[in-house]
Amino acid sequence: MVITNQLRLFITLSLFSFISWIILKGLYHPELFHGINRNLKSTKSLVAFKKRKTKNSSVEPKDIETLDLIAQLRKFMEEQKPYLNPQLTIKDLADAFEVPVKDLSILINHSLNQNFYDFVNEYRVREVMTLLENPSYRKLTILEILYEVGFNTKSTFNLAFKKYTQVTPTSYRKIHQ
């Protein structure tokens, strides 16, 4: 009985000493935490825009920040056209847009209610629609066009195109010629 109480006391003192040592090490050497970005926004500030039923305002300041970030992302996608890269990843997009991957993922998933691939494919499909309507691209096959806008496979392209337009690419081309 005496040994177990002594053992408990030793373990408790050891844990207390170890935790104290970690805290002091962090206080005297803050460079140990150099990988932590203090300017990261909280997840709550990036979560979906929700209107509040109030008399004065229906948008919270955090929601305005989110809407502004969405507008910047959409403008970036339209002007820079990173979706044309067939190997585009969320990390590549986050690096180009200069935001942390986590924040971009939250923005797309929660605020736009899409996953990354649906978000990118939406822009690719819009580009295909523009090219299919353009008379100078009539000589190109749909397969050539889908590779030009960043799709890797015909099946993915067909699924995405039909999802956003409700018609096949061939039908779309015929309608708009």
Identify the domain containing residue 155 by its residue range. Answer: 124-175
**C-alpha to C-alpha distance for 109 and 114, rounded to whole angstroms:** 5
The answer as to whether 138 is a domain residue is yes
Contact 113, 50 (CB under 8 A): no
- Examine the domain organization and report whether 108 and 144 are in the same domain: no
- Examine the domain organization and report whether 62 and 103 are in the same domain: yes
Nearest to 132 by CA among 168, 177, 68: 177
In this prediction the pTM is: 0.65
- Examine the domain organization and report whether 112 and 163 are in the same domain: no
Range from 3-7, 14-18, 92-96, 119-123 carrying the lowest mean pLDDT: 3-7
- Examine the domain organization and report whether 109 and 140 are in the same domain: no
Q: How many domains does the chain have?
A: 2
**C-alpha to C-alpha distance for 73 and 158, rounded to whole angstroms:** 25
- Examine the domain organization and report whether 114 and 62 are in the same domain: yes
Single residue among 96, 118, 140 that ends a domain in this structure: 118
CA angle 101, 80, 105 (to 5 degrees): 20
Angle between helical axes of 90-97 and 116-133 (0-180°, round to 10): 80
Mean predicted lDDT score pLDDT of the chain:
83
Residue 77 confidence (pLDDT) above 80: yes
Token pair for 40? 């990261």
Query: pLDDT tens for residues 103-149?
Result: 999 999 988 999 999 999 999 999 999 999 998 988 999 999 999 99
- Examine the domain organization and report whether 108 and 134 are in the same domain: no
CATH at residue 134: 1.10.10
The answer as to whether 39 is a domain residue is no
Query: pLDDT tens for residues 117-126?
Result: 999 999 999 9
Quick one: pLDDT at residue 123?
Answer: 96
Phi, psi dihedral angles at 161 (to 5 degrees): -65, -45
Best-predicted range by mean pLDDT (36-45, 49-58, 62-71, 126-135): 126-135
Nearby residues of 152 by Cβ (< 8 Å), 6 or more positions away: 86
The answer as to whether 91 is a domain residue is yes
Query: pLDDT tens for residues 78-96?
Result: 999 999 999 999 999 999 9
Three-class SS of 10-49: HHHHHHHHHHHHHHHHHHHCHHHHCCCCCCCCCHHHHCCC
